[in-house]
Structure 1
Amino acid sequence: MRIGFMVNDIATEEAGYTTTRLAVAAINRGHEAWVMSAGDFAYDPDEKIKARARHAPGRKYASGSAYLAGLRGPKARVERITVDDLDVLMLRSNPAEEVGARPWAQSAGIEFGRIAMRNGVIVLNDPNGLAKAMNKMYFQLFPEEVRPRTLITRDRDEIKSFVKEQDGRAVLKPLQGSGGSGVFMVDHASNKNLNQMVEALTRDGYVICQEYLEAAEEGDTRLFMMNGQPLRYKGKYAAFRRVRQGDDIRSNVHAGGTIAQACISEAHLRIAEIVRPKIVADGMFLVGLDIVGNKLMEINVFSPGGLGSAQKFEKVNFANGVLDALERKVEYAVHYRRNFSNIQMATL
């Protein structure tokens, strides 16, 4: 199997990233794992998609750090590959990281992935589905039952009115963004700074105002979905808890939170079942659900991370479960002569 992994930038990948774990698992199984950055694609005059890609030189890797050293080192295979000849192309870039500096890179994987998809490559997650999810407005398309009460606006007075309706407590964050950046907690003590918070957020666009969930004080749970179902491998759910530190409302690890083992409850599985139809309809193969109490706080469809954190507590390598699913998809494509749409292939 020939797999391509499209990332923001090969130079910024880390050993613990989920993409790195998937590439290592693929190589250790004897598959090809080509990695390309957002700026490496080309559409040639022969109407084929090409990419300047790198492949680690070894046949087996015991760690992500050894793999990345090989991938970036002088012995790596560096070729201009034909993306159309890949079996699978995994779009593992995060558009939020490209806001401002490289706006062209936000949709590069989606645009080139669409053409590769047309030529028979299984592209995951589905490019057209990802195009719908380019900012957090996508979250509002899921059932209201599983979402916190929300206002999205740039109007300061509307924001103030919403906060008042929530008894002076709410969470404000940018419509475009990830990793806990620009998230503010408004409470009675910080209400006097509300104008400054709104001004800071509206500089970059629209503001999401959400009701504050008391359960957030205990952190949130990241639960992976694969093929429209909670990802379960060797009897273990791919999930972990993210716990906030001190008074910081952000439980995101990049924002200083810590991780702990998750106990998946009926409430978690119920939310997963409610969101499943849309995830399947949009061709989302691998997704991260961020759950607080009985509410869904966020759905990560762009390069959801944390499989290594789940592995740390559950003691199973979930990357192998993902590779099992990819191998099955490629087999289906051969048996049925690719007689399924990409959206169907994404969750088969």
Structure 2
Amino acid sequence: MRLLFVTDPLETLQPDHDSTVAIMEAAQRRHAEVWVAGVADLVIDGIASAVWARPVRIAPAFRSRAGGSAARERWWRAGEQQRLELGMGDVVFMRVDPPVDDAYLRATYLLDAAVRAGALVLNAPRGLREANEKLTSLNLPDIVPSTVVTADVRDIRDALGRWRVAVAKPLDGAGGRGIIMMRDGDPGLTALIDLVTEQRTRQIVLQEFVPGVTEGDKRIFLLDGEPVGVVNRRAGAGDFRCNLAVGAMAESTTLDADDLEICRRLRPELECLGLVLVGIDVIGGRLTEVNVTSPTGIRDIERLSDERPSERILDWTMEKLAAGAQPIRPRQPERVEEEDACRPIISQTS
């Protein structure tokens, strides 16, 4: 089995944190071929799909004395770049971190050719284009915090007048970057709004503050719509952001009834867009984000629980290949009553 990971440069990854590396390690344990490439290495040659990729070997992370996972200083070794034809029997993991910029979008169009050639591409390129990580949840408005998407100071002031406290996020951010808290009546509020909206030229996501964030933010990892692991992330001292990249702490937790209901409600949306590997964020029983580009959390789930999402992903992949799986494509509704579930999702390119 040959697995290609289209990812950021290996030297920029954090092997003791990144889910991409955890999946690579699981593949290596199955004696699969692991190859890596960047978005600029993808090729279309006539009707054929190809890539300039390098084979890699991973030095597995080990358990540190502090109880976490740790990586060796030199944790990967790569061979010479080779041109590979992509087709039936190949698995491609598109695992490039946000932002979803022009280069990212171009890569999804080139990966459409790999899908046509018969490769199993996770996640489906069209789904990656259409499912904006900050906006997809708005298709289920009754399970998300009250939300306004705007660049206009009047909308923001009106929302703050109703909610008193809100959280503002950039539409293309990740890892907690650019997330701020706004309060009605704050001095300098207009200047702050001008800053985050780039002088009122760029929309932001404004959500009502969820007090439950003091108990943390659950990252639930979904495989083909089913939860396969969960970890709670609690903000560090003096911060409200529950992102590990900005100092939050991971802790063990379990799924409750609200979490399971959110997963159930979201599954048809994900199936319709061929989104197999997804990380959702839940605060106080409210869905806040649907992460589809390179969702993380696997390392912490496997460190803090008996769940092994990386192994589950490989099991699922091998079962699909053994069954002669067709490429993952967005699903069309089979019945009239399914049409609402397959309605268009607000796009990354919006």
Give unmatched runs, 5+ long, in structure 2.
Answer: 63-69, 332-350
The offset of 1:79, in angstroms, is 1.3
Contact 2:5–2:92 (Cα < 8 Å) also in 1: yes
Determine which structure has greater relative contact order: mean sequence separation of CA pairs < 8 Å that are 6+ residues apart, divided by chain length: 2
Give the superposition deviation at 1:175. Answer: 1.6
Change (3 A) 1:287 1:341: closer
Could you give the per-residue CA deviations for residues 30-68 of structure 1, whole angstroms, max 9, x where no partner exists? 111111112211222x4322222111257x856584696
Aligned-pair Cα RMSD in Å: 2.2
Distance 1:174 1:61, change over 3 A: closer
Q: What does residue 162 of structure 2 align with?
A: 165
For 1:176, the aligned partner's letter is D
Report the Cα distance in structure 1 between the residues aligned to 2:215 and 2:61, rounded to whole angstroms: 35
> Counterpart in 2 of 1:303?
294
Aligned to 2:217: 220
Taking a change above 3 Å as real, the CA distance of residues 92 and 268 of structure 1, as seen in their structure-2 partners, is: same
Alpha-carbon distance change, 12 to 296 in structure 1, aligned in 2, over 3 angstroms: same
What is the aligned counterpart of 1:278 among 269, 282, 305?
269
Q: Deviations over 1:258-311 (max 9, x none)?
A: 111112111111111111111111111011110011100111011110101001
Amino acid at match of 1:244: A
SS in 2 for 1:246: coil
* Partner residue of 1:118 out of 96, 116, 119: 116
Shift of residue 94, structure 1, vs aligned partner: 2.1
Which amino acid is the alignment partner of residue 146 of structure 2? R
- 1:320–1:77 distance in 2 versus 1, CA, 3 Å: farther
| DSSP-derived class of the 2:294 partner | coil
Normalised by the size of structure 1, how large is the TM-score? 0.86
Q: Is the 8 A contact 2:86 2:117 kept in 1?
A: no
TM-score normalised by L of structure 2 = 0.85
Secondary structure, in 3 states, of the residue corresponding to 1:71? strand
- The Cα of 1:180 is off from its aligned counterpart by 0.8
- Residue 204 (structure 2) pairs with residue 207 (structure 1): yes
Q: Secondary structure at the match of 1:342?
A: coil
The equivalent residue for 2:42 is 41
SS at match of 1:148: coil
Q: Is the 8 A contact 1:56 1:67 kept in 2?
A: no
- Secondary structure at the residue paired with 1:182? coil
Correspondence for 1:88 among 88, 91, 115: 91
Cα distance in 2 between the residues matched to 1:85 and 1:67 = 36
Amino acid at match of 2:329: N
> Structure 1 counterpart of 2:119, which letter?
V
Task: Check the 8 A contact 2:56/2:76 in 1, yes or no.
Answer: yes
Whole-Å separation in 2 of the counterparts to 1:67 and 1:117: 36
Residues 1:79 and 2:76 aligned together: no
2:187 pairs with 189, 192, 197, which one? 192
Offset, 1:328 = 0.7
Q: Deviations over 1:150-190 (max 9, x none)?
A: 11111111101110111x211111122111111111235x7
| Equivalent residue pairs, number | 321
CA distance in 2 between counterparts of 1:324 and 1:216 reads 34
Deviation for aligned residue 1:191: 1.4
Structure 2 CA distance for partners of 1:161 and 1:111, relative to 1, 3 Å: same
CA distance in structure 2 between the aligned counterparts of 1:255 and 1:62, rounded to whole angstroms: 22
- Answer whether contact 1:268 1:291 (CA < 8 A) is retained: yes
Residue 147 in structure 1 maps to residue 144 in structure 2: yes
CA distance in 1, matches of 2:324, 2:126: 20
Between the aligned partners of 1:179 and 1:248, the Cα distance in structure 2 is: 14
Would the alpha carbon gap of residues 14 and 86 (structure 1) be closer, same or farther in structure 2, given more than 3 Å must change? farther
Q: Which residue of 1 aligns with 2:67?
A: none
In the other structure, the counterpart of 2:102 is 104
Local SS of the residue matching 2:187: helix
Q: Hey, what's the Cα distance between the residues in 1 that align with 2:178 and 2:189?
A: 13
Amino acid at match of 1:220: D
Which residue does the alignment assign to 1:179? 175
CA contact (8 A) 2:225 2:270 kept: yes
Alignment match, 2:20? 19
CA distance in 1, matches of 2:204, 2:263: 26
Distance in 2 of aligned mates of 1:279 and 1:66: 36
Give the SS at the match of 1:192: coil
Instruction: Determine what percentage of the aligned residue pairs are the same residue.
Output: 26
* AA in 2 matched with 1:123: V
Which one has a larger percent helix, Structure 1 or Structure 2?
1
The aligned amino acid for 2:8 is: N
1:235 equivalent in structure 2: none
- Once residues 278 and 193 of structure 1 are traced to their aligned partners in structure 2, the CA distance between those partners, rounded to angstroms, is 40
Deviation (angstroms), 1:327: 0.3
- Note the C-alpha offset of 1:318: 2.3
Who is 1:3 aligned against?
Answer: 3
The answer on whether the counterparts of 2:5 and 2:36 sit within 8 Å (CA) in structure 1 is yes
Residues 121/67 of structure 1: CA separation in 2 closer, same or farther (3 Å cut): farther
| Deviation readout 1:112-148 (Å, 9 max, x if unpaired) | 111110111111111111110245233322x111111
